[in-house]
Structure 1
């Protein structure tokens, strides 16, 4: 994967969860019901996007084209 393509993918993967946690997109998940795992849906919404962001960044770490180059000193 080229660096340009990787950088574009990184920006998209970081920007989407950010947008889902700020107004106006947070309004999709901003409600008290239903209760999921003992949490109101709005709390679950935030935790869900934090987990999705972590998983996406972890996947990007393994796809990083420069990861092998950093180890050579």
Structure 2
């Protein structure tokens, strides 16, 4: 994977979760009525996007062209 394509993916996977947690896109999940795993939906929404961001950044770390592990 080229460095430019990796940088584009990194920015995309960093900005999209951020946008989902700020106004006005947070309004999509800003509800209290559905209870998921004992949490109001708005709290679950925030935790969900934190987990999605964490997993996406781990995947991007593994795909990083500068993170080549040498065989010992």
Using structure 2 for the length normalisation, give the TM-score: 0.94
Q: Which has the higher helix share?
A: 1
Cross-structure match for 2:8: 8
Deviations 1:14-42 (A, max 9, x none): 00000000000000000101000000000
Q: RMSD of the alignment, in Å?
A: 1.2
Cross-structure match for 2:31: 31
Instruction: State the distance in 2 between where 1:68 and 1:57 align.
Output: 16
Instruction: State the distance in 2 between where 1:28 and 1:8 align.
Output: 26
Offset of 1:68 from its aligned partner?
A: 1.5
Gaps of 5+ in 2: none
Offset of 1:57 from its aligned partner?
A: 0.2
Instruction: State the distance in 1 between where 2:61 and 2:3 align.
Output: 13
Gaps of 5+ in 1: none
Q: Secondary structure at the match of 2:65?
A: coil
Instruction: State the distance in 2 between where 1:36 and 1:14 align.
Output: 25
Cross-structure match for 1:49: 49
